[in-house]
Structure 1
Amino acid sequence: MRPAATLLALTCAAAFGGFAATALDGLLDNRAEANPAPAPVAPLAPAPAPLPREAVAAALPEAIDGQALPSLAPMLKQVMPAVVSVHTKQRVKVRNPFFDDPMFRRLFPQVPQERINESLGSGVIIDAARGYVLTNHHVIEGADDVSVTLADGRTLKAEFLGSDRDTDVALIRIPAENLAGLPLGDSGRLQVGDYVVAIGNPFGLNQTVTSGIVSAVGRSGIRGLGYQNFIQTDASINPGNSGGALVNLRGELVGINTASLNPQGSMAGNIGLGLAIPSNLARDVVQQLVTTGEVRRGTLGIDAQALDARLARSLGLAEGQQGALVTQVYAGSGAAAAGIRPGDVIIGAGDQRIADPFALHNFEGLQPVGERVPLQVLRDGKTLTLSATLREQPRALDGGAVDPRLAGARLAELPEAQRQARGRGGVLVEDVQPGSRAARNQLRPGDVIVATTAGPVADLPALRSSLAQAPQQLVLLVTRGNVQGRLLMQ
């Protein structure tokens, strides 16, 4: 029965495909050499001599059933020249108390008083004629010198045009000819399951390509990453990929790679949770940076808080209802014009579900000034649809315009990444003029004002509103580093 067993084994090998056949090939050959099979009962066609591995590889067909074998190579050949390496240098002063001593500096002039920090990221040429390169804000943040290395090996000094910390988008320009550009595609057409390819320079390895699918769209709720509407993909995105291209199979730029999620930290490598900034969002940011040099954002002009079980019951809402409970509507705001009232619960904005105030704030931050958006609102047990136009709010104010006791302090909106990391709002003290009233009241740059005598402070409009009628005694609740304390303003 050995011939029958041999035939059965060969049949199984064919059924399991090339991998199984390769694994069984050596085993069957060894058996044949050790134990020659007796003559078969029925005559069989003689088996062909096994081909060398090189011959097998060379014999693979170029097409199956008239269709060429799939390959990303033709698309990548067109796309990869537009993906560049971004190299930055930052001069950092070495903090050494001995440098304050002139005698020490004279005796040890060779001791360096500064060091150079270098980093490497990726970028994408989006306009070959103008030399525009799109990358991440965190790639070039704080850099004193930025250079770009092209796919053909040329290295060029880059000019900084502008960036937006809150969406992690930056635009630089290189003066070069014969560039290959990759125009921005429509990320709004992406669906979960679409194939995508990530191109960048992970760990300094130039022009590396990884592939995967779109795992999710509109991903948000990740602390410390600013305004969020990410494309999630399982294409490998590792350190150095930041600012690189995420393209679809048509070779269109649909995203800018920005981060990977790993509980062990980004340097631990990829685990299939990569995030990319949608090209439609990047397009809006680039347009504002090119035309005005900065990004302006709209706001509804409200304060809101999260729903809890007690509030839901008091409002007659179903158990577990989520949303942003409106606590204040500012006069002259887009929300006031739309008819939003305190006590309303916003449960939807545009085509997004709103689960809490942070989701609403994230939605606002991604809309341009003048955008008209539909809002789904719960009021008196009914669901209403209201339309509000987002209006611009100042991103920074002179403290003296808010209250004379804050004169000399420059107050700004809290960076969105910091807001997300803290899990709460506040107002950042961006600068304090020496000798000013704010300085005498012990305010320092970097302080975060989280409340005043009049109540909590979520953002600049909330601070202005709380101090619209100046309190006789002004006390600020301030976070400084990891310490929170109170300052009496005089």
Structure 2
Amino acid sequence: MTARRPVTSLALLLPLALAGLAHAQPAPGRPVPAPSAAPSPAAPPPIATSAPGSRGAAAASGSIQDLRRLGDAFADVVDKVAPSVVQIEVAVGDGDTSPLRLFRGGGERRGVGSGVIYSADGAILTNNHVIDGARAITVRLRDGRTFYARLVGRDPSTDLALLRIDARNLPAAPLADSDTARVGSWVVAIGSPFGLGYTVTTGVLSAKGRGGVGVNAVEDYLQTDASINPGNSGGPLVDLDGRVLGINTMIVSRGQGIGLAVPAVMARRVAELLLKTGRVDRTWIGVGLQDLTPELAAAIPSAPPLGALINTVSPSGPASKANLNPGDVVTSILGKPVRDAQDLIREIFLHDAGEAVTLDVNRGGKRYQTKVILESRNEPPPPVLPVQRTASQQPGLGLTVRDAADPRSPPGTKATVVRVNGVATDSPADRAGVKPGDILLEVDGKQQPTAADVEAATRDGRLLLRIQRPNAVLYTAVHR
């Protein structure tokens, strides 16, 4: 096994590289001295110096080495994370006209996205919009293995979803504490933009806590200038330690170099809830919130400079029981500063129903604390996708066949083939792409099968078919 190179700090290497380049060139406008004449006998012996230009050459060589170490540091991060990144292919219905259709394959039958392995036992994090409307989901690992995936659950409010494949001992990617990530630090994005698997882009963490995009109900994004394109969705944004800072989710179309990712702190919370119950049961305190803008802070007597302004209070909600009123400004929760409404919403989401949270509140210039018992919002679950329909809803594999005359045989002969007579909508056969009229050349390795052979082969819930169509021959796997 080859030893892994240590990850070198890019923050140290970049200044060194730039400094080396600066030494490699003469200062602008500085005269180059003419060669001196031979010293007179009375003159002291000349001081031994290195050959002309050797100092600049040495500096240039050092700067090249620094740049190589800089590149090696990026490559080491990719070597560490890439095995945890997966390519996701979805089969969707036609006619998709949603604003996110570019991330789902433009309304066509097939679309490509990305994902990251969350746990070694086959759980995979991705975006909800990558798999929304999916009739079948296929996951391709870095080592080339391909699996059908089932949908554990999804949360449209945060645009996250959790898949599971039947595999073990997978290289799960560690999730970072995105709250402590520093704006301006280097980041690396890995994904499958436009279906180009395992594409790597680099940039910096441009901002944290971005909201107001208007796409999802819960918006608290990391912003990066690392190139993000359709197909990157669901892939990881990682730091230089190879930890996932966020799940890449969208680009801002009206600008360049503005990509957004769901923070790892939120992604971890959603994944935990989906693994536990299959859905996200969001908590609330029963208030309407808005940011305390400078204009509002100036207009409200003795208001603090930052906070979440309460504009409504549900009569029967937790906040009403805790004596919160419209006009109150929440400045912290559990000791953590609240800069705006999103800070409060995000922190509440990270706690379970029944927990008590302490709020610091400013009311008319006076500060006080109150405890609020969180309650569930009891939101309805998202609609069931075709891929979530259980196998028990479909008889067999959803495939009916019959023995038919072989259209390839000479006239007058009685050769037969197995022809697909029907495919049930959203059945395993349908999700595998089998179509009525297909001719089955081979079933589980048996060539020239009969309809009885196909029926017998379906009993174990799996089929490997070699199919002939008018202009193509292909293999497909049907899996219950």
Unpaired segments ≥5 residues, structure 2: 1-17, 28-33, 40-47, 98-106, 383-480
Q: 2:322 aligns with which of 326, 332, 338?
A: 338
**Inter-CA distance 311–124: structure 2 relative to 1 (3 Å threshold):** closer
How many corresponding residue pairs?
337
Q: 1:224 to 1:338 in 2, by over 3 A?
A: same
Q: Work out whether 1:236 is the aligned partner of 2:238.
A: no
Structure 1 unaligned residues grouped into runs of 5+: 1-14, 25-37, 51-55, 96-114, 265-269, 397-411, 414-490
Q: 1:69 to 1:359 in 2, by over 3 A?
A: closer
Match among 379, 389, 392 for residue 373 of structure 2: 389
SS in 1 for 2:111: strand
Structure 1 residue 391: Cα displacement: 0.5
Q: In the alignment, does 2:138 pair up with 1:147?
A: yes
Q: Give the conservation status (yes or no) of the 8 Å contact 1:288–1:295.
A: yes
CA spacing shift, 1:42–1:236, aligned 2, 3 Å? farther
1:121 to 113, 125, 140: 113
| Residue type of the alignment partner of 1:250 | D
Residue 296 of structure 1 corresponds to which residue in structure 2?
281
Aligned to 2:437: none
Q: 1:60 offset after TM fit, Å?
A: 7.2
Q: Distance in 1 between matches of 2:123 and 2:163?
A: 6
Matches of residues 47-446 of structure 1 in structure 2 within 5 Å? 71-92=73-94, 116-128=108-120, 130-177=121-168, 179-263=170-254, 270-271=256-257, 273-303=258-288, 316=301, 323-331=308-316, 333-342=317-326, 344-349=328-333, 351-353=336-338, 355=340, 364=348, 367-396=351-380
> Distance in 1 between the 2:144 and 2:88 partners?
12
Superposition deviation, residue 179 in structure 1:
2.9
Distance 1:118 1:393, change over 3 A: same
Deviation, structure 1 residue 68: 9.3
Task: Quote the Cα distance in structure 2 between the aligned partners of 1:16 and 1:348.
Answer: 44
Spell out, residue by residue over 1:353-373, the C-alpha distance to the aligned partner (whole angstroms, 9 max, x if none): 3656x7765665565423433
User: 1-side partners of 2:209 and 2:96: how far apart?
Assistant: 42
Identical positions, percent = 38
User: SS at the partner of 2:81?
Assistant: helix
Equivalent-residue separation in structure 2 for 1:71 and 1:306 (angstroms): 40
CA distance in 1, matches of 2:145, 2:304: 62
Change (3 A) 1:361 1:21: closer
Over aligned residues, Cα RMSD in angstroms?
4.3
8 Å Cα contact 1:137-1:164 kept in structure 2: yes
CA distance in 1, matches of 2:133, 2:19: 56
State the TM-score, normalized to the length of structure 2: 0.59
Taking the aligned partners of 1:173 and 1:118, their CA distance within structure 2 comes to 20
Distance 1:371 1:246, change over 3 A: farther
What is the TM-score with the length of structure 1 in the denominator?
A: 0.58
Q: Distance in 2 between matches of 1:206 and 1:304?
A: 41
Deviations 1:310-338 (A, max 9, x none): 9989974569997534443423x321332
Q: CA deviation at 1:88?
A: 0.9
Q: Secondary structure at the match of 1:160?
A: strand
- Alpha-carbon distance in structure 2 between the residues aligned to 1:183 and 1:314: 46
Relative to structure 1, the CA distance from residue 22 to residue 90 in structure 2 (aligned partners, 3 Å threshold; closer, same or farther) is farther
- CA offsets 1:414-448 (integer angstroms, 9 cap, x no match): xxxxxxxxxxxxxxxxxxxxxxxxxxxxxxxxxxx
Structure 2 counterpart of 1:296, one-letter code:
D
Distance 1:255 1:309 in 2: 30
How far does residue 220 in structure 1 lie from its aligned partner after superposition?
A: 2.1
Contact 1:62–1:68 (CA under 8 A) maintained in structure 2: no
1:285 shift after superposition: 0.8
CA distance 1:319–1:382, shift in 2 (3 Å): closer
Q: Which residue of 2 aligns with 1:441?
A: none
Supply the AA of the counterpart residue of 2:270. Answer: V
3-state SS of the aligned residue for 1:84? strand
- Measure the CA separation in 2 of the matches of 1:16 and 1:314: 51
Per-residue Cα deviation, 1:58-105 (whole angstroms, up to 9, x for no partner): x779967xx99852223321211111111111123799xxxxxxxxxx
Query: Structure 1 residues 262, 41: closer, same or farther in 2, change over 3 A?
Result: farther
Paired with 1:45 and 1:308, the residues of 2 have a C-alpha distance of 66
CA distance in 2, matches of 1:48, 1:380: 75
Deviation at 1:277, TM superposition (A): 1.2
Contact 1:199–1:207 (8 Å) recurs in 2: yes
* In 2, Cα distance between equivalents of 1:49 and 1:347: 62
User: What is the one-letter code of the residue matched to 1:231?
Assistant: L
